Amino acid sequence: MSDNKESFYTGGFQDLSKYRLERTTIGLDWDNCVVKSEQGTLFSESYFLSSLETKIGLWVCYRGKEVAALVHLIEDASGKSAIQYPGAIYNGVLFMPAPQQQNRTQSQSEQFRILAFLSGELAKIYKNIFMSFHWLINDVRPFLWHNYSYDGPKFEINIRYTSIIDLAGHQIDMDELQSPLYKNMNKSRRQEVRYAQNKGYYTKEEYNLPLFLDFYKRTFNRQNIAASLVNFRELKEIISNLYKNKRLIMLISYNPSNEPSSIAIFGHDNKRWYYLYGASNPDHREGHAGTLVLWDAFTKFLINGPSELDLEGVNSPRRGYFKLSFGGQLLSYLHVTLKSH
């Protein structure tokens, strides 16, 4: 139990003495637990984590002898702080499924106790902490109450947003322009789809990593962002590893002159698809390929897998407007941080 002195975490309902936290490593047991957890995502699985050029902090929270939750963190070089890391969209706490005999109230109470325990234990292990919780975790009061009424560092909670596309309502033989996916988009996005199709744009599933990396670098240069800020060696390893393990597809949209114009990369786990990366040919920016590559992904290439797509963040004005114009459901998720000094 944490030594942060909160007396309301002692005895009865708030007894945390049955919990313990043990460090673990990437492996089959870890991945099996990630798959079972509702909060488990591609970003916590070995296929993704093994590609990162950084330290990984993996923990198992036990209640007695049973696994109650996982904790996935990205560590700095010293291993003394958990940090934010580019491309690692979700991490933090992953709950194991509640026993069948538990009702909703019991399950919520159990998750609260787990977070109460972890808020104290993680603060003893790490000087600084960053976690990006899955959107299914919305009660983080135990972190807000850390060092409540006492001097000492406090957790901060920052809200973030993503957009989820429901792919279930579309069938491969359906008239695209009558589908729920089309009707949910805004007017300008629907126009872009029609323009692209009428002018002869088309999309192919095609794995061309060198072409994507070239577009990606040129996109950074066009936006006056230093390409040196991106670890292209790591990016290449992530994409290659996910593709090798059949967790990724790459789509390329071509203009009417059969020139590649826009590329989108999607990964998946057992629950959903994730829009991982995108880049366009800067020479073809006036075309419609950037819209078409996503539209064709929704209606042709992703509908035989998981039934939803996480567009992964709508947290800047331009990117947020573009992604939300496709008609997804806006969901919030939380960044949880602790700074010791």
Q: Render pLDDT for 11-26 as a digit per residue (tens, 0 to 9).
A: 555 789 999 999 999 9
* Token pair in block for residue 143: 């972190």
Give per-residue pLDDT as tens, 67-125: 999 999 999 999 999 999 999 999 999 999 988 888 989 899 999 999 999 999 999 99
DSSP string, 197-211: HHHT-EEEE---HHH
Q: What residue spans of the chain are helical by DSSP H?
A: 28-36, 46-49, 104-125, 141-144, 180-184, 187-199, 209-222, 232-244, 289-296, 317-324
Q: How far apart are CA 244 and CA 218, in angstroms?
A: 26
Candidates 224, 231, 187; CA nearest to 325 is 187
Strand pairing of 128-132 and 260-268?
Answer: unpaired
Rounded to two decimals, the pTM is 0.92
Q: How far apart are CA 313 and CA 331, in angstroms?
A: 9
Q: How far apart are CA 217 and CA 188, in angstroms?
A: 28
- Which residues of the chain register pLDDT less than 70? 1-13, 172-174, 222-228, 341
Strand partners, 308: 166
